[in-house]
Amino acid sequence: MLTLQSPGAAEATMSSREIAEICEARHNDVIATIERLINEEVLRLGRNTARAHQADGGGRPTMVYDLTKRDCLVVISGYSAALRAKIIDRWMALEAAAPALALPQSFADALRLAADQQDVIAAQAEQLAAAAPAVEFVERYADATGTKTFREVAKLLRANESAFREFLLDQKVMYRLNGALTPHAHHMDAGRFCVKAGTAQNNHAFNSARFTPKGVTWIAGEWAKHQVVLRQRAGAEVAA
Query: What's the pLDDT tens digit per position in 75-103?
Result: 988 888 888 888 888 888 877 766 555 55
Closest CA to 223 of 148, 157, 127: 157
**What pLDDT is stored for residue 169 in this prediction?**
93
In degrees, to the nearest 5, what angle opens at C-alpha 124 toward C-alphas 214 and 224?
Answer: 35
pLDDT reading at 56 higher than 80: no
For range 153-162, the mean pLDDT: 89
Span 147-163, average pLDDT: 89
Share of the chain above pLDDT 90, in %: 12
In sequence order, the 6+-apart residues with CB closer than 8 A to the CB of 37 are 43, 74, 75, 225
Of 65-79, 104-118, 128-142, 199-213, the poorest mean pLDDT is in 128-142
Give the DSSP letter of residue 47.
G
Q: Write down the mean pLDDT value for the chain.
A: 76
Q: Which amino acid is at 108?
A: A
- The rounded percent of the chain whose pLDDT value lies above 70 is 63
pLDDT at 125 (0 to 100)? 61
Confidence of residue 143 (pLDDT cuts 50, 70, 90): very low
CA atoms within 13 A on the CB side of 93: 9
Q: What is the per-residue pLDDT across 19-48, written as a single tens digit (0 to 9) for each?
A: 999 888 898 899 988 888 888 888 877 655
Q: State whether residue 191 is helix, strand or coil.
A: coil
Q: How far is CA 168 from the centre of its chain?
A: 15
CA–CA separation, 183 and 194 (whole Å) = 9
Residue 141: exposed, middle, or buried by beta-carbon count in 10 A (0-12, 13-18, 19+)?
middle
Contact 215, 193 (CB under 8 A): yes
Q: What pLDDT shows up at residue 217?
A: 85
Q: How confident is the model at residue 9 (pLDDT cuts 50, 70, 90)?
A: very low
